[in-house]
């Protein structure tokens, strides 16, 4: 079969069983390997969906400019779609993102504005605010706003959820995903709980993010917001795509545990992935132990992106030592 373009091969990523990092756990832990998408991340799915929907609604016209705030992966997916369909791209990101992500976006023809990480979301210097301002100033531009755009969750309802259900032949008992924009966890869990309301959904958050306390208390506590290194998960806002009613538990994972598990997954399972993947697996295994999950349980964990984004960070021994992540 010959595909019409690179964006037609997005999705249908495999489930791969984990063996060595699971230790003495008896349940099946299956990783959904999203770095096998053409843009090497789960965000390819939402990129094509958001642009398809914007075109259908007349929000994005030929020759237009796509402007988005991104930690890198959504930008990569949008840049692929833009390259195929003839759009320009401007992305805002934060200075904690890896240089590889910025270089990859520029390689695909996008302009990238790097903004400070440690400012409030409504600060005019934040990457949210700069993206919104540029979308107002630049004619014939479209701001997808992945945080609040329902097409984000819808993409996972239409693709990720059904794939997990079919690939496990309906045997999935637990679905685990990192919590960033909220689309991956909300969209897929909506589908899965429609199929089987007993499926447990576990969100993985980063220490320094507001999600865990918000989930447990309903309180948005700014005192929870602290700097952290893991990219792509955790937030200092509550995006519109997050539906806490679908989530059964939230596990918080610190940077060190996330980075060390990321390295282990590469060395012990052959999975060359990013730091939020390590966080997701660490959180999933911690939850499995706490809940005494056993042979009849089938846990699916989303691995959002590729290790190619983090060569100068997680896979650099000196960087790991400098941050106290290697003994």
Q: Are residues 71 and 48 in the same domain?
A: yes
State which H helix or E strand residue 62 sits in. none
Task: Look at residue 135 and tell me whether its pLDDT is greater than 90.
Answer: yes
What is the pLDDT, as a whole number, of residue 216?
96
Given 124, 142, 160, which residue is the final one in a domain?
A: 142
Final residue of a structural domain among 110, 142, 174 = 142
The pLDDT assigned to 87 comes to: 97
Which pLDDT band, with edges at 50, 70 and 90, does 97 fall under? confident
Percent of the chain with pLDDT over 70: 100
How many CB atoms neighbour CB 5 within 10 A?
A: 12
Is 23 among the domain residues?
yes
For range 118-124, the mean pLDDT: 89
Residue 1 lies in a domain: no
Q: 277 and 165, same structural domain?
A: yes
Pair 285, 156 in one domain: yes
How is the chain split among helix, strand and coil, in percent rounded to 5? 45, 15, 40
Identify whether 327 is part of a domain: no
- Is the pLDDT assigned to residue 194 strictly greater than 90? yes
Instruction: From residue 308, give the alpha-carbon distance in Å to each of 35, 39, 67, 68.
Output: 10, 11, 24, 22
- Looking at the fold, whether 178 and 236 belong to one and the same domain comes out as yes
Chain centroid, CA 238 distance in Å = 15
273-304 pLDDT, tens per residue?
999 999 999 999 999 999 999 999 999 999 99
Give me the domain span that covers residue 183: 6-41+149-322
Mark whether 244 and 296 lie in a shared domain.
yes
Catalytic residue among 26, 32, 43, 88: 43
Residues 101 and 242 in one domain: no
Q: Are residues 60 and 165 part of one domain? A: no
Torsion of CA 98, 100, 103, 109, to 10 degrees: -100
pLDDT class of 36 with cuts at 50, 70, 90: very high
pLDDT, the chain, mean: 96
Residue 76 sits in a domain whose CATH number is 3.40.50.1100
CA distance 245 to 215: 9
pLDDT of residue 327: 76
Please tell me the predicted confidence (pLDDT) of residue 159: 98
The Cα–Cα gap between 135 and 131 comes to 6
Same-domain check for residues 85 and 233: no
Q: Is residue 252 part of a domain?
A: yes
pLDDT exceeds cutoff 90 at 72 = no
Domain-embedded: residue 259: yes
The answer on 75 and 29 residing in a single domain is no
Q: Label residue 58 left, alpha or beta by phi (over 0 means left) and psi (-120 to 50 means alpha).
A: left
pLDDT at 71: 82
Residues 164, 286 share a domain: yes
97 part of a folded domain: yes
pLDDT(61) > 80: yes
- pLDDT one-digit tens code per residue, 251-280: 999 999 999 999 999 999 999 999 999 999
Same-domain status, 157 and 256: yes
Give the model's confidence band at 219: pLDDT under 50 very low, under 70 low, under 90 confident, else very high.
Answer: very high
Q: Would you say residue 105 has pLDDT above 90?
A: yes
Catalytic residue flag (residue 43): yes
pLDDT at 23: 96
Structural domains counted in the chain: 2
Does residue 180 share a domain with residue 63?
no
Residue 105 lies in a domain: yes
Q: Is residue 84 part of a domain?
A: yes
Which among 142, 167, 201 is the end of a domain?
A: 142
């Amino acid at each position: 079969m010959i595909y019409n373009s690179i964006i037609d091969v997005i999705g249908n990523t495999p489930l791969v069983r984990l063996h060595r990092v699971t230790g003495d756990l008896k349940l099946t832990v299956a990783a959904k390997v999203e770095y096998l998408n053409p843009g090497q991340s789960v965000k390819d799915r939402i990129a094509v969906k958001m642009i398809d929907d914007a075109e259908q609604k007349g929000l994005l016209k030929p020759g237009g400019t796509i402007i988005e705030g991104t930690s890198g992966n959504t930008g990569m997916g949008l840049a692929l779609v833009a390259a195929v369909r003839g759009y320009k791209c401007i992305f805002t990101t934060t200075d904690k993102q890896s240089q590889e992500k910025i270089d990859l976006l520029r390689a695909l023809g996008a302009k990238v504005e790097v903004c400070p990480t440690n400012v409030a979301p409504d600060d005019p210097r934040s990457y949210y605010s700069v993206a919104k301002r540029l979308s107002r100033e630049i004619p014939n531009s479209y701001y997808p706003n992945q945080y609040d755009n329902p097409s984000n969750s819808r993409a996972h309802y239409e693709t990720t959820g059904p794939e997990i259900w079919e690939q496990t032949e309906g045997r999935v008992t637990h679905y685990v995903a990192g919590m960033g924009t909220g689309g991956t966890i909300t969209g897929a869990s909506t589908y899965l709980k429609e199929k089987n309301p007993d499926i447990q959904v576990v969100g993985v958050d980063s220490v320094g993010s507001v999600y865990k306390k918000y989930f447990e208390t309903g309180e948005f506590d700014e005192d929870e917001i602290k700097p952290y290194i893991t990219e792509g998960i955790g937030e200092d806002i509550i995006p519109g795509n997050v539906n806490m009613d679908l989530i059964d538990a939230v596990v918080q994972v610190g940077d060190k545990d996330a980075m060390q598990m990321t390295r282990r997954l590469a060395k012990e399972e052959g999975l060359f992935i990013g730091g939020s993947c390590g966080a997701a697996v660490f959180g999933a295994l911690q939850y499995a132990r706490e809940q005494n999950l056993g042979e009849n349980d089938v846990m699916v964990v989303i691995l959002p992106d590729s290790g190619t984004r983090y060569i100068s960070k997680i896979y650099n021994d000196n960087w790991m030592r400098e941050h106290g992540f290697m003994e």
